[in-house]
Structure formats: C-alpha cells, structure tokens
Amino acid sequence: RVPGELRVYETLRLRSVLPARGRACGGTTLTLRGDGLRASPDLSVLFVKGARREIVKARYDEAVRCVLCETPAWVAPPVEPADADADAEADAIAPNAPVADDVIVEVGLNTQQWTRNCLHYLFQDFAFHKVEPAVGPLVGGTLAKLIGAGFSDCVGMKARFTDPVTAVSFEVDATFVSEMELTCNTPAFGAPKPFDTQVLLTVNGQEYSSEAVPFRFEGNLPKGSK
C-alpha cells in the first residue's frame, strides 16, 4: 500500500488580532497576523472562554499575508452582582451598560492543533447617547464629549458627522476617556450658514452606532474664508 502524504509545518504563532472588539451578534471581520500562517482547506479560528468553544472557517489573503474570518455570535451571560449595594451604585453610574465578554482567540490549520498565544478579543455592544456640547462653530475644532456606555480603549474609534441634506460626511478620531465617555474635535465643513448634522460612532472602525445623535454647526466663518 502506498502511504498517504503527511505535511509537517513550522510552528504557528499568532501575533495580532484586529479589531480587538466587536458586537456580540458577531459578523465583525477580523484580521489575524503571525508566523507560519498559510492557506489550508481547514484553516480555522477558535474563540474560547472556559468550557465554551466556537470555531469559524477562515481564509488566507496571500496579498497581505494574513488570515481573515467573521466573528461568531457570542452573547455574554449576565453578571451576578457581588452585593445589592454595589450593583445599585454601578447601575446608577452606568444604567443598562452593555455586558462584555473577553475571550481567547487562536488559529489552526487543521481544526485540531491551535496556536497558544492567548490573544484576546472583546465581544461587547456599546450605546451612544449624546454629544456635549450639542452646538459648535462652523470652523470646527470644538472639543466634544461623546456620551454613552460600553466604551473601551482600542484602535479604530471614530465619530462620523454627516450633513443629511448634502450627504457630505467627515470622520474624526475619537479618544478614550472612560467606559461612558469619548472625546473628539469637531470637523470643519466650510458651510456658509448654520446647519444640523447627524453623528454616528464606531469603536472598531467597522460597526457604527445604530442611531444617530444630533450636533449643530453655528456661527459665521472668519473673514476671507470661502
């Protein structure tokens, strides 16, 4: 009998997972980079926490030398309060804060052996409630607070300001302050008169808040501006 072919590969090492967080309903596109990653019929990504394991099919992008996959749905179990007083205090500070679940991500070529680098990914929804102040000058540059819940310090946080009349949009980087606050500097639209915009927020560069928050640009442009 002719023996079957056995292919032996170098040890895999996972070095980065981006973005580092996404919605609990899944569907976020992850980019995984590391050593020894390659195309394989059984290329897969493992999401694990405790006894729970979710395996999704992945694909290898030869052009950029990375693994791509879509995250599975992962609903975190409700957190039991340590005591009633602490739970009431936390709820008063951040009512209805989205529940988060931090999991380990690994990659494998055959759905049996996996990397052991323990890189983390956070399943967490977020809420976006309002912008403070809700009005700023047409020239932009207002330091605005983006108030909500479920924020974390990660790559890809942006605020998108859109004029619903002209459909013109500008995106600006957002900075993490706390689980309930981000900040950003409002953009300059260069409009000749006051107008209203709709603001959307993303915390990973892919998925935006489900509902827009209003922000109004007012005041005249400086003399000499077009």
Per-residue pLDDT tens over the stretch 208-224: 999 999 999 997 544 54
Residue 156 CA to residue 176 CA, distance in Å, equals: 11
Biggest CA pair distance of the chain: 88
Indicate if the pLDDT at residue 193 is higher than 80: yes
pLDDT band with cut points at 50, 70 and 90 for residue 178: very high
What pLDDT shows up at residue 75?
A: 82
Closest to 21 measured CA to CA, from 193, 155, 146:
155
pLDDT, one tens digit per residue, over 93-125 is: 444 567 789 999 999 999 999 999 999 999 999
pLDDT band with cut points at 50, 70 and 90 for residue 86: very low
Indicate if the pLDDT at residue 147 is higher than 90: yes
What pLDDT shows up at residue 56?
A: 97
- Classify residue 64 by burial, with Cβ atoms within 10 Å: 0-12, 13-18, 19+: exposed
Residue 121 CA to residue 30 CA, distance in Å, equals: 10
What pLDDT shows up at residue 9?
A: 62
